[in-house]
Amino acid sequence: MKIKKQSSLSSKYWLMILVFLCLFLLGVERFIGGGGLLRFVGNYTVVPMQKGISYVGRYLSDISDNFDTLEEIRGEKDELQAKVDELTIENTRLRQEQYELDRLRELYKLDENYSDYDKIGAHVIANNGSNWFSDFTIDKGSNDGVKVNCNVLAGSGLVGIVTEVAPDYAKVRSLIDDASNVSGMVLSTSDTCMIRGDLKLISDGRLRFEKLQNNDNVIEVGEQVVTSHVSDRFVQGLFIGYISEIEVDSNNLTRSGYITPAVDFSKLQEVLVITTTKEDMTGGKKD
């Protein structure tokens, strides 16, 4: 009898639990809008997980796309840099060619100005190691008709004179060298003077002249000075420069001053060599 009572009580409890469970499920079903318990549970568990997985997937895909885009940008940058380098080299080459063309035009004009003299073009291949071309070497020699005492031109006028010759090269001493002495002449009056080289003066862009006769001839700043007819090594009429300063010496018999040279002695690359010397013109007789 005791055992049967316990079994009957247990069944009631189970019945009540089932009733409450049914009511609970009905309430949940009503609360979630009839979507079902599994859907309800899924909305709060599986769906967030799916969203998270989808977000991570999109994020990883974006990273991959970004890497691809970055590689493309790097490739384009390398191509553009290569084009810039190529254009820079081309621009440098064109500028060098333009500078060379300008220099050759100057030489051509100089050649026309002294068309009475036979000349040959040459490149400067070495100097004495200073900033000024007071003593330099050219790539033409005796095989090309160059001789000692040949006059050398560049820019707008006289550069110097050949002092040493080998078969394939020659050495030139310019007007600015300390050992240089040139007989000059004021073009407007034909008065002669002596022009002396001075490396200290050329740093100020000047040459010294002296022993210009103090006569009635008026000589002003800006007058042109050329090589004179009495020079025994330089042919007549080669342009040297312009008078920049002039004054009467203390002896009151001569005048002296400074000349601005026609040639830039800091930049010499090509020159013209007059292959006929003054000695050749005078038949070996010095004036």
The pLDDT of residue 131 is 84
Q: Is 187 found in the same domain as 262? A: yes
| pLDDT (tens place) for every residue of the chain, 287 residues total | 444 455 555 666 776 777 676 666 556 555 555 555 555 555 555 556 656 666 666 665 666 666 667 777 777 777 777 777 777 777 776 666 566 666 667 766 777 878 888 999 999 999 887 889 999 999 999 999 999 999 999 988 999 999 999 999 999 999 999 999 999 999 999 999 999 999 999 989 999 999 999 999 999 999 999 999 999 899 999 999 999 999 999 999 999 999 999 999 998 999 999 999 999 888 764 44
Output the pLDDT for position 28.
56
Q: State the CATH number of the domain containing residue 234.
A: 2.40.10.340
Q: How far apart are CA 149 and CA 281, in angstroms?
A: 12
Judge if 104 and 197 occupy the same domain: no
Residue 280 and residue 273 in contact, taking contact as beta carbons nearer than 8 Å: no
Q: Are residues 215 and 243 in the same domain?
A: yes
| Residues 243, 188 within the same domain | yes
Residues 109 and 128 in one domain: no
For the chain, give the longest Cα–Cα distance: 168
Domain presence at residue 176? yes
Q: Give pLDDT, residue 112.
A: 81
User: Within this chain, do residues 54 and 158 fall inside the same structural domain, yes or no?
Assistant: no
The rounded distance, in Å, linking the Cα atoms of 85 and 194 is: 53
Residues 124 and 109 in one domain: no
The residue range of the domain holding 160 is 119-281
Backbone angles phi, psi at 117, to 5 degrees: -105, 140
- Report helix, strand or coil for 207: strand
CB atoms within 10 A of CB 229: 15
The number of folded domains in the chain is: 2
Task: Name which of 104, 244, 128 is nearest 177 in CA terms.
Answer: 128
3 within a domain of the structure (yes/no)? no
Tell me if 15 is assigned to some domain. no
